[in-house]
Structure 1
Amino acid sequence: MTEPRIAVLLPCYNEEAAIAQTVAGFRAALPSATIYVYDNNSKDRTVEVARAAGAVVRSERMQGKGNVVRRMFADIDADVYVMADGDATYDAEAAPQLVRRLIDEQLDMVVGSRVTQQDAAYRRGHVMGNKLLTGMLAQLFGRSFTDILSGYRVFSRRFVKSFPVLSGGFEIETEISVHALELRMPVGEVETRYFARPEGSASKLSTYSDGFRILNTIVTLYRIERPLLFFGAIGGLLALLALALGIPLAITYYHTHLVPRLPTAIMATGLIILAALCFFAGLILDTVVRGRREVRRLAYLGHPAPGERYP
């Protein structure tokens, strides 16, 4: 069996102060890997610095990390993909351990779960938001990871080539996690050190606006992947409201054979109809989702498992 082709993917935007250190760290940790830096419209010298550091530099004009990941996954052909932000916050020395675990255990994704003692590296607002979103994902999809927002991940070829990438921004990590959970892929986590950014590098993540976008992504993916439960819950609430309005009317009609509040009766009837429509819409969409999931599963199975064989 030949050695796997490893590609290190580093999305970045205005990371002149950190990209050379990031490239050097991954080159030392994975000497045989090809290191790709995907620049996302940087206005500083990120491109020149990355090229001088020995990386293969490419550009994506559509702004947003999700757009960069879509381009990277489409363009790069490899057996193992190591993805990390180009801001020198992730521990490059841990990369061989993540890659080895992926291959030895034939996993499709290994997440570098962030551990840090530096408040400047991992702000409290980000920590709290990550815990809330991780817990919500676990409640909605039945299982989760300890750090769904980590940008440090190692993927198999079959993961990358079966992942459609629909997100445009920082919600991409959530979409990646849901893709793995819905296809029931074998995955793992490894605790890795998380560092403060070098001087001159600033975080592009907004605690509140990006947090709400990630929350919206979780709800949207739940609606898409679990339509029967999503629309069934809405239908159940509408049915309960209809019963709350209709039972007093039914009791009155039983005793008097009159319907004194006709508008309320019409509303209760309409709510029951809406509840039934929600249920049947969820049932139909659930059938569609099962078909889509089968197609993704077949695309996933079209590639060998990590460690099986390499061309």
Structure 2
Amino acid sequence: MDIKKLNIAVLLPCLNEEGAIGNTVSAFKQELPEAKIYVYDNNSTDNTLNEAKTAGAIVRQELRPGKGEVVRRMFSDIDADVYVMADGDETYDTSCIQTLINTLVSSHLDMVIGTRSTPTKAYPKGHILGNKAFSALINKFFDAKLTDVFSGYRVMSRRFVKTIPIISDGFQIETELTVHALHHKLPILEIPTNYQSRPEGTKSKLRTYSDGIKILSFIIYLIRDIKPLLFFSFLSFLFIVASMILGIPVIIDFIHTGLVERVPTAILASSIGIISIISLFTGLILDNVTKGRMNLVLLNYKNHYPVNSYEKV
């Protein structure tokens, strides 16, 4: 497959990446001279826009703050056969991009993730630990073996980009892309790539703790949304345990005395027990709704782009 025949779009969401965005654009232009490179600026206050234009990128803006907002706009606006998404901070290895694209096309995949090496200077320890923890959590719930769910270096097919309903607004976007592919059992693959330090004078926008909490909250939201029976069954279990802890002593007292001496506790235990039953049935109902929605997404996915479309290029 000659990738020169493909319509390739390189998508670079960025915010205040002066000193890095120009080199990032130039590096991708060198590796993919036929590709169109789009820089979507998210309200930068430095020279990011001019630097990207000078380097030869097509520059557009998304005023709503947040990386997820930018990616949603890019996926909606740009039409291509293959989409390359990376950060504009000059940390990803562009020399392997042709390998990533060739793997996507030749193996008929929907997403190839460029996993990052983790040298200490380039990748803070807090980020490494968080990535491993969240990767393990996602792998557990979705029966996967991914190593870097937060990598922003991804090559994606047109049908994947055009059929994913993005709902995240910030740094949760990589999690959403990954979980969407895992949940719908779409073909994806990880390929190791080099990861280097940001240029001096530039600063990461990711805040380890606050953004980590947002990502964890988003993962819980996705689990509730995608696996409602599991989520609400767990809640039901917690409620029934609480109900038993409160109610068993009341029952024991009644057996011994024939009286319900702790009426408020009895009422509370009964109420929590009812909530437990409601939670279980809520999970059962939402599970059927989720399966129906999943079928619609897959039908749209299958009809949107033929599996062997690349062979026609």
Same fold by TM-score, threshold 0.5 exceeded?
A: yes
TM-score scaled by length of structure 1: 0.95
Map of 1:228 onto structure 2: 229
Map of 1:173 onto structure 2: 174
Equivalent of 2:27 in 25, 28, 35: 25
TM-aligned CA distance change 1:116 to 1:268, over 3 Å: closer
Map of 1:126 onto structure 2: 127
Equivalent of 2:48 in 46, 49, 69: 46
1:23–1:50: 8 Å Cα contact kept in structure 2?
yes
TM-score scaled by length of structure 2: 0.95
1:108–1:156: 8 Å Cα contact kept in structure 2?
yes
Q: Distance in 1 between matches of 2:307 and 2:180?
A: 17
1:103–1:306: 8 Å Cα contact kept in structure 2?
no
Which residue type is aligned with residue 276 of structure 2? A
Shift of 1:250: 2.6
What SS does the aligned partner of 2:181 have? Answer: helix
Map of 1:67 onto structure 2: 69
Q: CA RMSD in A?
A: 1.6
Shift of 1:144: 4.8
- Structure 1 range deviating more: 252-261 or 197-206: 252-261
What SS does the aligned partner of 1:208 have? Answer: helix
Map of 1:92 onto structure 2: 94
Q: Distance in 1 between matches of 2:273 and 2:79?
A: 53
TM-aligned CA distance change 1:108 to 1:306, over 3 Å: farther
Shift of 1:120: 2.2
Higher helix share: 2
1:144-164 CA deviation, whole Å, 9 max, x = no partner? 520011000010111101111
Give identity over the alignment, percent.
51
What SS does the aligned partner of 1:165 have? Answer: coil
Q: Distance in 1 between matches of 2:39 and 2:265?
A: 63
Unaligned runs of 5+ in 2: none
1:117-154 CA deviation, whole Å, 9 max, x = no partner? 3x221011111111111112122333252001100001
Counterparts in 2 of 1:1-311, with a 5 A limit?
3-117=5-119, 119-302=120-303, 303-305=305-307, 308-310=310-312
Shift of 1:116: 3.7
Which residue type is aligned with residue 18 of structure 1? A
1:9–1:37: 8 Å Cα contact kept in structure 2?
yes
Shift of 1:30: 1.4
Segments ≥4 residues shifted beyond 3 Å: 306-311
Shift of 1:310: 4.8
Unaligned runs of 5+ in 1: none
Question: What number of residue pairs does the alignment pair up?
Answer: 310
Shift of 1:68: 0.5
What SS does the aligned partner of 1:24 have? Answer: helix
1 or 2 for the larger relative contact order (CA 8 Å, sep ≥6)? 1
TM-aligned CA distance change 1:194 to 1:120, over 3 Å: same
Q: Distance in 2 between matches of 1:188 and 1:306?
A: 18
1:76-99 CA deviation, whole Å, 9 max, x = no partner? 101110000011000011111111
What SS does the aligned partner of 1:72 have? Answer: helix
